[in-house]
Structure 1
Amino acid sequence: MLFCIHATMRRSDMKATQQLRNEHEGVKIMLNILEQVCRQLETDGNLNEEHFDGILEFLKVFVDKCHHGKEEDLLFPALITAGVSKDGPIAVMLQEHEMGRNYVKSMSDAYAACAGGNESASKTIRKNALAYITLLRNHIEKENNVLFVMADSLLSEKTQDELFEGFERIEEERIGAGKHEEFHGLLGKLSKMYLT
């Protein structure tokens, strides 16, 4: 479950792509939690607001702003510089990031409607959440098994080091000090409630 392991390792001990793989492990745990939340929503119509607020924040801030930000702002341009066509796998990854954003926005909008008394909105939350889960699980497999393998073969150690430093900066700027650990705590707490 430890997806923030990079915080305790020196840059020379880990490639930038490994940091992204580690983060994927945390994302997969949250997808499993979200899947259980959807089951509960379908079974009894209940949605714990505190838990769902935390899940949405994780998806918007950690997954999109931080993790996808590292890929879009630094990794993908480095791959293009190394000769990977921006119209190939990178275009697919960018399109899937955008699809994910749309699912999360639809979930958020439906959640607001649900809080406002619209009971049918829970179906929209569930539909978009399940579509997001499927999208991201497939997306992670493609990145781990195709894109990151490509990056590891094409990018020099120097470039990997520069990416790692850039990833650390993005994390500080976009989510701030201590937030990564807070998300880690949220994953642990929700895992005990939904995955045991």
Structure 2
Amino acid sequence: MSATNQLREDHVQVRRLEKIVSKCSQEIYKGADIPFSDLEKITVIISEFVDTIHHSREEDSYFPCVASYDNLKEEIRKFMIEHEFGRNIARKISEYLKKWREGEDSREPVARYLRTYAIFLDDHLNKENKFFDDAEANVLSKEEEIEMYEQYRSVIAIMKKVEQMIAEIDWLELRPWYKNNL
């Protein structure tokens, strides 16, 4: 496997999360009762998988390697801005979820920010997948791809965390509110 393919594999899982987040938002707008534990699990996956693991792989390894060739720097700059935008949305979801848990009626802002996050993920993943195609075809050598992939795999704790986050996504896909009207 290559670094680019590992990031694409991450995107497959993030795409699953995007569908869960979108469905959750729709169900809240319909007035469905989504357990707080499910909503909190979604925020944990966003924080620990999307941001801490996936975006870190891109920001700390992949993007710097691609940029070292003076290629695609403008695209990388835009992705870094988008990552921060996603973090801001995630903070808003957590902020309003906390208020809701404390008794304030924050259903609408939670639903709105979940919908916004799902839209962000869809757009962002589409653009990054095109970027990966370009970087793989025109910038990175096979050796660099393998070296970065080995870096990703070398931290066993991260690999275990990825497995745990995928299991959490699997679990969310089995929740009644998610399966409702699919």
The answer to whether TM tops 0.5 is yes
TM-score normalized by structure 2?
0.91
Measure the CA separation in 1 of the matches of 2:6 and 2:125. Answer: 13
CA RMSD after TM alignment = 1.5
Measure the CA separation in 2 of the matches of 1:55 and 1:158. Answer: 36
**Matched residue, 2:67:** 80
**Matched residue, 2:171:** 189
**Matched residue, 2:116:** 131
Structure 1 residue 15 and structure 2 residue 2: aligned? yes
Q: 2:49 aligns with which of 47, 62, 68?
A: 62
The within-5 A match list for 1:1-150 is: 14-86=1-73, 88-119=74-105, 121-145=106-130, 147-150=131-134
Measure the CA separation in 1 of the matches of 2:28 and 2:72. Answer: 42
Give the ranges of 4+ consecutive aligned residues of structure 1 lying more than 4 Å apart after TM superposition. none
CA contact (8 A) 1:107 1:129 kept: yes
Secondary structure of the residue aligned to 2:30 is helix
CA offset at residue 71 of structure 1? 0.2
Measure the CA separation in 2 of the matches of 1:177 and 1:82. Answer: 29
Measure the CA separation in 1 of the matches of 2:49 and 2:153. Answer: 13
CA offset at residue 99 of structure 1? 0.3
CA offset at residue 45 of structure 1? 4.9
Measure the CA separation in 2 of the matches of 1:30 and 1:74. Answer: 23
Greater alpha carbon shift after TM alignment, 33-42 vs 96-105: 33-42
Structure 1 residue 152 and structure 2 residue 136: aligned? yes
CA contact (8 A) 2:153 2:159 kept: no
Q: 1:37 to 1:85 in 2, by over 3 A?
A: closer
CA contact (8 A) 1:45 1:122 kept: no
Give 5+ residue unaligned stretches, structure 2: none
**Matched residue, 1:165:** 150
Q: What CA deviation, in whole Å up to 9, does each residue of 1:64-93 have, x standing for no partner?
A: 01000000000110011122153x100110
Measure the CA separation in 1 of the matches of 2:111 and 2:68. Answer: 40
Give 5+ residue unaligned stretches, structure 1: 1-13
TM-score normalized by structure 1?
0.85
